[in-house]
């Protein structure tokens, strides 16, 4: 089987990410593009609650360096089921900086899967990036 033909069940945390993306599509279909980031964040949190997915929002993410912990105020938008980091954006286009931020958060948290969701697009599928940290 070609790796492009694999069903979603072979993706790391596929069930959780599919559920999160379903909630994001619902929010986007109701609100559309053009708002600031905060309304999308709040509405996505509401949808995750409705789905009874355990999550933390605005979770502090300290930096650990050579045995010291440095609290610099880094916060992940969502940590869902203690396994998937979700970063919400409402920008003209996703930049390499946004993807680097997600990858840094995955590394700092020692989590493997992250979703970067930009709601400021006509079709949400164009604003989604799923990243895996290979430990």
Residues 6+ apart with CB under 8 A from 30: 43
Closest CA to 131 of 107, 115, 110: 115
| Mean predicted confidence (pLDDT) in 7-36 | 90
Using a pLDDT cut of 70, give the percent of the chain over it: 92
Predicted pLDDT of residue 10? 66
Question: How do residues 53-93 score in pLDDT, each as one tens digit?
Answer: 999 999 999 998 999 999 998 999 999 999 999 999 999 99
Pairing of strands 84-89, 113-118: parallel
Contact call for residues 121 and 35 (beta carbons, < 8 A): no
Question: How do residues 108-117 score in pLDDT, each as one tens digit?
Answer: 999 999 999 9
What domain range is 117 assigned to? 3-132
Query: Into how many domains does the chain fold?
Result: 1
| Mean predicted confidence (pLDDT) in 23-40 | 98
What global pTM score does this model have? Answer: 0.89
> Where does the pLDDT of residue 1 fall: very low under 50, low under 70, confident under 90, or very high at 90 and above?
very low
């Amino acid at each position: 089987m070609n790796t492009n033909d694999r069903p979603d069940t072979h993706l790391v945390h596929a069930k959780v990410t599919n559920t999160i993306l379903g909630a994001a599509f619902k929010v986007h279909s109701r609100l559309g593009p053009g708002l600031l980031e905060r309304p999308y964040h709040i509405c996505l949190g509401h949808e995750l609650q409705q789905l009874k997915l355990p999550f933390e929002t605005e979770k502090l993410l300290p930096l650990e360096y050579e045995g010291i912990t440095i609290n610099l105020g880094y916060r992940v938008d969502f940590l869902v089921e203690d396994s998937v980091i979700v970063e919400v954006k409402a920008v003209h286009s996703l930049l390499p900086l946004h993807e680097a931020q997600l990858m840094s958060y995955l590394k700092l948290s020692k989590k493997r899967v992250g979703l970067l969701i930009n709601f400021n697009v006509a079709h949400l599928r164009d604003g989604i990036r799923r990243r895996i940290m290979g430990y």
